[in-house]
Structure 1
């Protein structure tokens, strides 16, 4: 009986080894030859699953974005509580999130010259901004958020502080400790509850 091949699993395995290569050696380490060897394929066999390296990298980028989404546990939360959860979930506060941030940082650089990756990241940012706006509106509706600072400015603050925290956790960790990130977040959230 012929062996049944799970093509989706093989694609996922290829993305896994690409992720590991990028984490260990940067984007330069993720050559087609290295990806194929790490996945246990002949070099040309990758073409059965991905058209080329760009497609593998794009799938790995999507994995990083999906990981960031998976950290968010909003079940039943709304308003200020949901805003807090969303902010905490996107902070580089453990090794897995720091690693995801490291991979995303590499992809941010690539998105400067790759339109498809740039558009994919913009889609992610728009989704994130939409959630922030929704939770701020809910918090105002619930009476928990009373600041006169416009929501657009608050959303910008969250995005910029989070992006900065992710970069700083990688390049100057002593200036972006988990404790410091939590203090900044609590200070920000406390401002929302004051007129």
Structure 2
């Protein structure tokens, strides 16, 4: 009787091994040959599921985006958290403050580098959209300062989050987690009416 192959499971395993390979060796280490060795498969088997390196990286990036989105949704689902704290925790969810988020950020950076090398605009709008949604949420709750310049605030917060993420990834000893958290708290507090700070 022929052996049944669960193709969905196989694809998920390949994505997991690719993720591990990027974490261990960076984007350059995520070659089909290295991934095949980790997965105990042949390069041809990997290419059967993901014909190009870009397709493989796209699948891994989709996994990272899904994980981060889930983290943020879980935070917003915690109704016992005050509104301000939900926003702070959601923004912190994208920073590499623990091993899991650090690994996700490494994969994200490798992906950004890969598509930048291909001559494509590599910067996604996920963090900017998170900040815009956070500001919108606080505005709906009437917690924002009356004349807060939303576009400027979005740019400033986006630059802060990107900068912190990069520092935590490349020079993790320079800014410790407590200071990164304080900086995000101070940023969110600067958006709020005095009674909500």
Which residue pairs with 2:91 in the alignment?
87
Q: Which structure 1 segments of 5+ residues have no match?
A: none
Which residue pairs with 1:59 in the alignment?
59
Root-mean-square deviation (Å): 2.3
Higher alpha-carbon deviation: 130-139 or 20-29: 130-139
Kindly indicate whether the alpha-carbon contact (under 8 Å) linking 1:79 and 1:136 is maintained by their aligned counterparts in 2: no
1:3 and 2:3 equivalent?
yes
Quickly say closer, same or farther: Cα 1:88–1:51, change in 2 above 3 A.
Answer: same
Aligned to 2:117, what secondary structure does the other structure show? coil
Shift of 1:114: 2.8
Kindly indicate whether the alpha-carbon contact (under 8 Å) linking 1:79 and 1:140 is maintained by their aligned counterparts in 2: no
Of residues 106, 111, 114, the one that matches 2:110 is 106
Which residue pairs with 1:97 in the alignment?
101
Shift of 1:169: 1.0
Q: Which structure 2 segments of 5+ residues have no match?
A: none
Shift of 1:93: 1.4
Runs of 4+ residues over 6 Å off in structure 1: none
Kindly indicate whether the alpha-carbon contact (under 8 Å) linking 2:83 and 2:138 is maintained by their aligned counterparts in 1: yes
Give the distance between the partners of 2:70 and 2:23, measured in 1 at CA. 19
Kindly indicate whether the alpha-carbon contact (under 8 Å) linking 1:80 and 1:136 is maintained by their aligned counterparts in 2: no
Of residues 74, 77, 87, the one that matches 1:75 is 77
Which residue pairs with 1:42 in the alignment?
42
Quickly say closer, same or farther: Cα 1:132–1:171, change in 2 above 3 A.
Answer: closer
Kindly indicate whether the alpha-carbon contact (under 8 Å) linking 1:64 and 1:104 is maintained by their aligned counterparts in 2: yes
Shift of 1:27: 1.7
Shift of 1:79: 5.5
Kindly indicate whether the alpha-carbon contact (under 8 Å) linking 1:110 and 1:117 is maintained by their aligned counterparts in 2: no
Shift of 1:59: 1.3
Give the TM-score taking structure 1 as reference length.
0.85
- How many residues align? The count is 190
Q: Within 5 A, what are the aligned runs for 1:21-36?
A: 21-36=21-36
Give the distance between the partners of 1:54 and 1:64, measured in 2 at CA. 15
Shift of 1:25: 1.2
